Each structure stands twice: as C-alpha cells, then as structure tokens.
Amino acid sequence: MPDIVLATLNAKYIHASLGLRCLRANLGPLRERSALHEFTIAQKPVEIVERLLALEPRIVGFGVYIWNVTETTRVVRLLKALRPGLKIVLGGPEVSHETGEQDICRLADHVITGWGDISFPKLCDALLHGPRPLSKLIVGEQPPLEQLALPYDEYDDDDLAHRLLYVEASRGCPFKCEFCLSSLDKTAWAFETDRFLAAMARLHARGARHFKFVDRTFNLKIETSARILEFFLARLDERLFVHFEVVPDQLPERLKQLIARFPPGTLQFEVGIQSFNPEVQARISRRQDNQRTADNLRWLAKQSPAHVHADLIFGLPGETLESFAAGFDRLVALGPHEIQVGVLKRLRGTPIVRHTETHRMVYDPEPPYAILQTDVADFATVQRMTRFARYWDLVANAGRLPRCLALLLGEARPFERFMAFSDALWAGTGKTHQIGFEPLVDALHDHLRDTLRLPADVVLQAVQEDYRASGARGKPSCLAQAAVQLAARPSDKPLSVRQQRHLNSREPA
C-alpha cells in the first residue's frame, strides 16, 4: 500500500495530468512509496473516496484547478470526515491564491502555492519522518529547470495507448495579459532542448503519437521551435498529432517553411486572439500587432496544412458587444477552422481584478467565476453571448454542418447573422444543453428557409448533404417531410434530377 497518493479529478478520462507526473518524478526516494490515481469530475465523490481509502495512504495530494475545485472539495470533506488523521495536501493554480477564502483550503492540512516539484517531496518527508511542519501554507520553491526530473517516464502504456499526452518544453510566459495566470511569471524558462527531445524520443519509441504542448508561447524562441518541428518531421507517420499554442504575431519564414512540410491532420495550432480591439488590448496589458497577427493567421488557415483553433474572449473590460462583433467578423474572414468563443473568467490571482471597480465588473462567485456583467455589457448581453458561444460550438466547431453554416453566416456580418439564429434557437428550445442533433438540424433548416428566406431547394440540399456526411442515422423532420412531399407528387409530373436523387436516397421504412 502506498504511503503517498497523488490524485486529481480530470475533466475527461482522455486527459492525463502532467502536474501529478511532475510531482511523482521528483519524489526521489519516496517515489517507490507513492502511487498516482486519476479520476474524472463525472465520478461520484463517495466512490472516489472509497477507492482512495482502500489504498490506506498516509498522505493524499490533490491537484486543484478551476474545473475540478467544486468536486474535489466534496472529496476532501468526505475524506476528513471518515479519516481525520489522513494528511491532505493541496496544490495547483486554484489554491495558489486567495487561500483564506476557500473551503477546500480550510479543510486541508497543507496548501502548497506555486511550484510544487521540490516543495511537495520536502513536505511529504517531513510528514512521514518529522519534524512536522509548523505552517499550513507553504510557498512553493522554484528551482532551476535543470534540477528537475522530467515526468515523461511516468506515462504508462495505457496512457500512451488511450490518452492525450501533455508535454512542456518551457514554463512561464513573458507576456502580461491580465486575464491569465501566466501574467504573474517574470519570464519564460526553457528546459534544455537536447534533454527534452531525448525524453520525447523515448515516448515516441514507446508508441506515443499524440503530443499536446502546454507551453504558453511555443514559438517564442525560434531556434528551439524549429528544432522541435524538425524532431517531429523526422518521425512522421499517419498517427502523429501535435498541438502547439503559438504567439500569433510571431511567425518568421523559417517556421513557415517547416510547418509547410507537415501533412494535413498532423499539426494543430491554438492561436489566442482574445480581442482585436486596440483599446481593450492596452487596458489588459496585451501586446499584439493586429495586422501581423491577421496576416499570420490567414497564412496558417488558408496556406498551411495545420488545423487552426483561434480564441476570442467576451467580457474583457471596455469590450462592447459591437466591438466584439467587429473582431469576430474579422476573425471569421481569416478562415480559422475553429473559433472558440469564451466568456471571461476571473482566475484567482490574476491582475484583471484591478478593473473590477472602474468597469463595474461582476463575476459569478462560484467556479468557474464567469463574468456576469460589466459597465458596457449588461447581464442580459452576457447571457446572450454565453448562449452564442454554446451554440457556436454545436453548429460551427462540431464540424458537422459546414454547408448550412456557410449559408447561415453569409458573405457579410457573420456575427449578426449567427446571433439572430442563437436568439431564435433559445426562444424555440429554452435549452443550451441536451439539444439533439436532429432538432438542431431542423431549427437551422427552418431559420435558413423561413427567417433568412433563402431558396427552399438550396437550404434542403445543404441540410441533406451535411446530414448524410455527418454519419448520423436519425431522420430530421425537415428531411422526412421533404421525402413525403416528393413521394406524393403526381406520377405524370417529372421530378428534377435533385428531387429524384433525394427520393432514391430515402431509407426503407
């Protein structure tokens, strides 16, 4: 039985915690007395507790994040009720700031703020062997990266076969965007490149093919970025998939030439735009050359083989619905494959709080602390944008309705056109979740035909082609109705080629 259990509640099973593996890799002599156990937020807290207590640990360390703090608090409360003597240690970004305000911190025995690679082993040694630490709150030590053991051998064969592997060539960020916890870093620190690539080579040799880099600024140092791209170019196969987050206004020709050599489906770039409004950018200390960003994003989306995921945030201080709409329209025109519309969240410890009074920013007090209103976006507007973001995921980012989406967005004012559909879908369903694919298709069909007054045959053809390509096996009402109407036509009236094709494709009763 392990004396030390490292645990966290992931959002999904496919996610594998890099943080826990960093901690275990650096436990030194205590590593053999430890075990790593991951759960998901969908699991019942009492079942998680049962599994943890069956291990009879003396110490349980939890990784706590904005997405799991509510569920982890329930687990910790149950553990302390059942085994008061069990030592609970917390770490992670959610408990590294404002610890005095959190129930989970009050329940725990110790909280490590910031880096835990060195501080967690020291704390465990003291708890197991003495002398017992006097302080509940422990400020994490930040050692030079060369002193840290790399965590990648902690991924087991099941991880390699079934999960997304998170890796980091660097930590920290030199930029100061106030909504982001990385703004607290003084700079970015890089792991020694040869050592890092040797670890990647071992992972690849063991069968790893999905690598998700968590570096905040992958292309900050071009020489390192180039070497990493060259590493993966030398190991191309049909299963390789690599994800990077890139600085959008820094993409020199050398990197473009390397990117262009990858086959489609291999690279994914996450590009944080957040806002195209220069006044908002300045207000939140975000440095971004918008024209260079647009040029690079256009090249990535339309000329490179990479899949491009771009982010926008609604609710930043001073961002109106109109200015956000202008930025959204500009981004759509650049052609990224996905646009993630997010609503601002107040991460604990971030400098964004300095705008709270000036811009009358009100946040939900419960995780994930989403913005509720600002001085230029009232509560009703933020709610509309929250629904817009959800429906955009369903219709656009899901990728199942490309022809219908093109009709919906049109050639001008895509934000305005999608917002009209979003408002109509909400009015018609009263739902943002648990909307079936067929009802969504029907709602989109009716909006295109009846509200936008597009030609009925054009709309029907787009719906039919999208639905067939999606692989869905149901029967949206709009397609079933069209099939009935076609079948009921008088036999002496010839059908058009399109109508005949549709009639022939009907599924047997």
What domains, with CATH codes, occur in the chain?
Answer: 4-145 (3.40.50.280), 155-377 (3.80.30.20), 378-509 (no CATH)
pLDDT of 185 reads 87
CA triple 281-284-289, angle to 5 deg: 30
Task: Show Cβ contacts of residue 157 under 8 Å, excluding neighbours closer than 6 positions.
Answer: 206, 207
% of residues, the chain, pLDDT over 90:
91
pLDDT of 86 reads 98
pLDDT of 490 reads 56
CA triple 297-298-304, angle to 5 deg: 90
% of residues, the chain, pLDDT over 70:
95
Query: Phi-psi region for residue 85, left (φ > 0), alpha (ψ -120 to 50) or beta?
Result: alpha
pLDDT of 505 reads 41
Helix (H) or strand (E) holding 383: helix 379-392
pLDDT of 280 reads 98
The encoded tokens of residue 396 equal: 């656009």
Gyration radius (Cα) of the chain, Å? 26
* Position 495 confidence tier, pLDDT thresholds 50, 70, 90: very low
pLDDT of 499 reads 40
Strand runs (DSSP E) across 238-292, as ranges?
241-246, 267-274
Q: Distance between CA atoms of 58 and 65, rounded to whole angstroms?
A: 23
pLDDT of 325 reads 98
3-state percent breakdown (helix, strand, coil) of the chain, nearest 5: 45, 15, 35
471-494: per-residue pLDDT in tens? 999 889 999 888 776 665 555 445
Residue 17: which of 121, 70, 93, 102 has the closest Cα?
93
359-380: per-residue pLDDT in tens? 999 999 999 999 999 999 999 9
* Position 186 confidence tier, pLDDT thresholds 50, 70, 90: confident
CA triple 146-26-270, angle to 5 deg: 70
Across the range 31-35, mean pLDDT stands at: 98
251-262: per-residue pLDDT in tens? 999 999 999 999
Across the range 293-310, mean pLDDT stands at: 97
Residue 421: which of 457, 455, 458, 384 has the closest Cα?
384
CB 99 within 8 A of CB 106: no
Give strand pairing partners of 147. none
Residue 191 has pLDDT above 60, yes or no: yes
Residue 501: which of 484, 476, 483 has the closest Cα?
483
Residue 51 has pLDDT above 70, yes or no: yes
Across the range 145-159, mean pLDDT stands at: 97
Count the residues in the chain.
509
Strand runs (DSSP E) across 31-164, as ranges?
34-40, 59-63, 87-91, 110-113, 137-139
316-327: per-residue pLDDT in tens? 999 999 999 999
Across the range 54-61, mean pLDDT stands at: 98
Residue 509 has pLDDT above 80, yes or no: no
pLDDT of 481 reads 86
Task: Show Cβ contacts of residue 169 under 8 Å, excluding neighbours closer than 6 positions.
Answer: 190, 191, 193, 196, 213, 215, 218, 224, 228
Residue 305 has pLDDT above 70, yes or no: yes
* Position 232 confidence tier, pLDDT thresholds 50, 70, 90: very high
pLDDT of 243 reads 97
Residue 124: which of 168, 83, 88, 70 has the closest Cα?
88
Across the range 439-452, mean pLDDT stands at: 97
Task: Show Cβ contacts of residue 154 under 8 Å, excluding neighbours closer than 6 positions.
Answer: 20, 21, 24, 25, 36
Strand runs (DSSP E) across 277-331, as ranges?
307-314
pLDDT of 486 reads 60
Average pLDDT over the chain reads 94
